[in-house]
Amino acid sequence: MKTAMDRRNFLKAAIASGAVIAAGGALAGCSPSGGASDGSGDANAAEQVVGTAPVSFSEETDVLILGTGIAGMSAAMDPVEAGHKVMLVDKLERVGGESFIACGVMNVSGSKMQKDAGIEGDPEEKWKAYQPVLEKKGETDDMEYKHRVYVYQTEWADRVAADYGAVFQPITDYMNTGAPTSMLLPGNGIGDMTQVLTPLQKGLEQKGATYKLNLRATNFIVDGEGAPIGVRFNDEKNNKTVDIRAKKIIVATGGFSCNQEMVSTYLPSQARLGPLTVNSMGEGHQLCKAIGGEYTHMDMEANRMSDLAQVTVWGYFSPQVQVTPQGRRFIKEDQSHDSPDAAAELGLGFWWTIFDDQTVNGSQKWNVEMNMKSNADRLVGPCATLDELAAAMDVPADTLKATFETYDAMVAAGEDTEFGKKLFLQSLSAPFYAMKHFPYRYKTHGGMKITTDSQLTDKDGTPIPNVYCAGSTVADSGSDLSPNAGSGLISGKAVVEALKA
């Protein structure tokens, strides 16, 4: 009873502030005249807030999904396939959110594509090895939720390929080069997310899903009992209010790395780093908090990344040497987030990736050519010698040559005794190239407290009716795209079950 009253009081305050909109003008427990039903004479907090329009639903749907990135579209798969009316809404004027510009690395085990290439693996068996790593980190509150995310990643990959026509790069392009075969890549390789997300988008439309763009979610709409029954939006083109009724709502709006106020509050150590993207404003977090949701793990460090994010991923697929502005190697090159982390911690300001034709002509040549052309102002080379390269990079030639002498000696010995590099511990040869990076913050990990089936909860762990969360709106959502896809499936499956009730 106390929890119910606490929630009712919370909602009254939220409605009074305009953070939550009440349909019909009154919250249960309040008299329609404006006085409290207990006769105390307090103002009715659920009456219309000055400056807000009364609720007027223009459309209805079974499932309303906020966000059209990989988490949102994945969340739509099961509901639309079950025959439910599904509507996906985005504040941008295009579908795909920031997933379209992602590197596209997806860590998956046991997919049909991998098995067809002769790579055996079972997600349940891989999970048994992965779970202790998560337990040691202590950043996961609900291990069963993480288990489902991990397993559903594989299901997602198989389904989007078989049922939606998503195109992945043939694993045979890189499986015998030394690159990880646990990684699936889109289409032509790193960065080609249109070949995965566009077929998914069109397939969902063919199955009956609809998209609404240029609508920014501003408030949950609740009924007389305080249960969310819809969402209020602002039409960004016409600056008009749009209210949409829904039986179930999935919040898949991404992280908060672009919200400077939230970053300064929860991640002050990263407040002076710029955001790599521009749209992850934490709006879904704030919406869920306004309805009584609880933040968790908000102080978990956000991923740092180069502003040339795709270039940092090359180290998984070909040999590179990364150096400081002074020409000294400072990190192993086979983990994409290690370089920006170390650059930020060492206060480098920027760093260089040095590569050769093994990268230019390797399995990711489509992406390499694209980045070399589109970032010509960051590129030096081709250079015939290390002296020429050092001059082009404006680093001391003696230092750079000493770095390569040490590196080549470790290559010959077969062990990186400085930093422990495992993948592509190989020497480079002329012509040499280099690209300059700057460290940025990327994907935040703090998010909403949820149940194992992704339903939003309050601070006491009590589920909030009709609201589910997916992707980076959820705490500890992983570092690549596949966990966001897996979490989307969890939410979609959950609302299908809830709609049966």
Q: What is the pLDDT of residues 134-165, one digit of tens each?
A: 888 887 889 999 999 999 999 999 999 999 99
- Cα–Cα distance for residue pair 76/19, rounded to 1 Å: 27
Given a cut of 90, is residue 46 above it in pLDDT?
no
When pLDDT is cut at 50, 70 and 90, the band that residue 40 belongs to is very low
Given a cut of 90, is residue 413 above it in pLDDT?
yes
Q: How far lies 349's CA from each of 263, 278, 322, 334, 423, in Å?
A: 20, 21, 14, 21, 26
Q: What is the DSSP letter of 329?
A: B
Given a cut of 90, is residue 449 above it in pLDDT?
yes
* Average per-residue pLDDT for the chain: 92
Given this model, what pLDDT does residue 138 score?
81
Task: Please choose, from the candidates 72, 477, 473, 142, the residue with its C-alpha nearest in 3D space to the C-alpha of residue 293.
Answer: 473
Contacts (Cβ under 8 Å, ≥6 apart) of 465: 227, 228
Q: Residue 246 belongs to what H/E stretch?
A: strand 240-251
When pLDDT is cut at 50, 70 and 90, the band that residue 29 belongs to is very low
The region of weakest confidence among 8-17, 171-180, 210-219, 264-273 is 8-17
- Cα–Cα distance for residue pair 242/14, rounded to 1 Å: 20
What residue type is 206 in one-letter code? Q
pLDDT digits (tens, 9 = 90+) for 362-397: 999 999 999 999 999 999 999 999 999 999 999 999
Given this model, what pLDDT does residue 41 score?
35
Which has more pLDDT, 111 or 6?
111
Given this model, what pLDDT does residue 501 score?
82
Question: Mean pLDDT across the stretch 106-127?
Answer: 94
Given this model, what pLDDT does residue 63 score?
98
Given a cut of 60, is residue 105 above it in pLDDT?
yes
Question: Mean pLDDT across the stretch 213-219?
Answer: 97
Given this model, what pLDDT does residue 101 score?
85
243 beta partners? 57, 232
Given a cut of 80, is residue 4 above it in pLDDT?
no
Given a cut of 50, is residue 43 above it in pLDDT?
no
Question: Mean pLDDT across the stretch 177-185?
Answer: 94
Do 74 and 492 meet the contact criterion of CB atoms below 8 Å apart?
yes
pTM above 0.75? yes
Question: Mean pLDDT across the stretch 445-461?
Answer: 96
Given this model, what pLDDT does residue 249 score?
98
Given this model, what pLDDT does residue 53 score?
87
Contacts (Cβ under 8 Å, ≥6 apart) of 416: 332, 410, 422, 425
Phi, psi of 468 (to 5 degrees): -130, 160
Percent of the chain predicted with pLDDT > 70? 94
Given this model, what pLDDT does residue 5 score?
63
Question: Mean pLDDT across the stretch 5-19?
Answer: 83
Contacts (Cβ under 8 Å, ≥6 apart) of 202: 164
Given a cut of 80, is residue 183 above it in pLDDT?
yes
Given a cut of 90, is residue 124 above it in pLDDT?
yes
Kindly report the number of other CB atoms within 10 A of residue 104's CB atom. 30
pLDDT digits (tens, 9 = 90+) for 343-364: 988 999 999 999 999 999 999 9
